[in-house]
């Protein structure tokens, strides 16, 4: 529904309830997200909400960022990685909520730049691609898919309506997650049976979320996104304080 992949819930679930070490949880989560992203992208493609050209340009920076992030996660201490995860989510949530309150975000799908116009925009697409590297890095480091940064980048820095941003984010997430998983696999930090089990549920949830999102206003979708991140971030900080 919000274009974030589900890792902000999967990682805490694996650490809180299943006793996973954080970097093993992030690797397993990112593996699960591949299936989630594919399922969501198929649904969004049918709704014609994906900016494929823009997404492919962003993948050029998000994919290597995810690989690097996964490598850093491999060597970080568990407590530090957990705190970084929590603080990161709280900061992004705060930025999104402030934006909603100040600008009273409205749906802009009718007046938004087309995919081709955005690709040809020059400065906007360059800024988006540059910032998206950090979205990919966060994806690999925290096992979250990258949407927690990519969606705000698309909406706040690139001017995309959130309904298009969430859809395009899930498309890019397929390739970003695969890149990060490649590194986690090399480090033997993926529990494949658990990833498969979780994927069964997330694929179904992704279909429901993608369908539901088109029935919610842009402002309310942004509010849901921000509140969801805030709750998950606070939970992680409390766990590792």
Given this model, what pLDDT does residue 133 score? 93
Task: Write down the pLDDT at residue 230.
Answer: 86
Rounded CA-CA distance 35/28 in Å is 12
Kindly report the CA angle at 179 between 175 and 150, in degrees rounded to 5? 55
pLDDT at 181: 94
pLDDT of residue 80: 83
Q: What is the dihedral of CA 34, 207, 202, 80, to 10 degrees?
A: 70
Give pLDDT, residue 31. 93
Asked whether the CA dihedral 32, 17, 184, 142 is positive or negative, the reply is: positive
Q: Which residues of the chain have pLDDT under 50?
A: 105-110
């Amino acid at each position: 529904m919000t274009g974030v992949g589900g890792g902000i819930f999967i990682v805490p679930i694996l650490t809180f309830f299943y006793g996973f070490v954080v970097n093993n949880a992030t690797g397993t989560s990112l593996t699960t997200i591949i299936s989630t992203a594919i399922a969501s992208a198929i649904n969004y493609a049918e709704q014609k909400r994906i900016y494929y050209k823009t997404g492919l340009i962003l993948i050029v920076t998000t994919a290597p960022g995810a690989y690097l992030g996964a490598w850093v996660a491999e060597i970080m201490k568990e407590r530090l990685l957990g705190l970084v995860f929590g603080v990161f989510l709280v900061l992004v949530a705060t930025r999104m909520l402030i934006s909603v309150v100040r600008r009273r975000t409205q749906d802009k799908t009718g007046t938004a730049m087309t995919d081709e116009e955005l690709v040809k925009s020059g400065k906007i697409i360059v800024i988006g691609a540059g910032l998206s590297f950090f979205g990919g890095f966060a994806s690999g480091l925290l096992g979250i898919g990258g949407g927690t940064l990519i969606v705000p980048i698309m909406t706040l820095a690139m001017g995309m309506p959130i309904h298009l941003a969430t859809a395009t984010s899930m498309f890019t997430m397929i390739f970003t997650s695969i890149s990060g998983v490649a590194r986690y696999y090399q480090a033997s930090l993926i529990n494949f049976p658990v990833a498969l089990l979780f994927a069964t549920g997330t694929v179904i949830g992704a279909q429901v979320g993608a369908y539901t999102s088109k029935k919610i206003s842009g402002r309310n979708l942004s509010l849901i996104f921000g509140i969801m991140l805030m709750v998950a971030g606070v939970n992680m900080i409390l766990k590792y304080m």
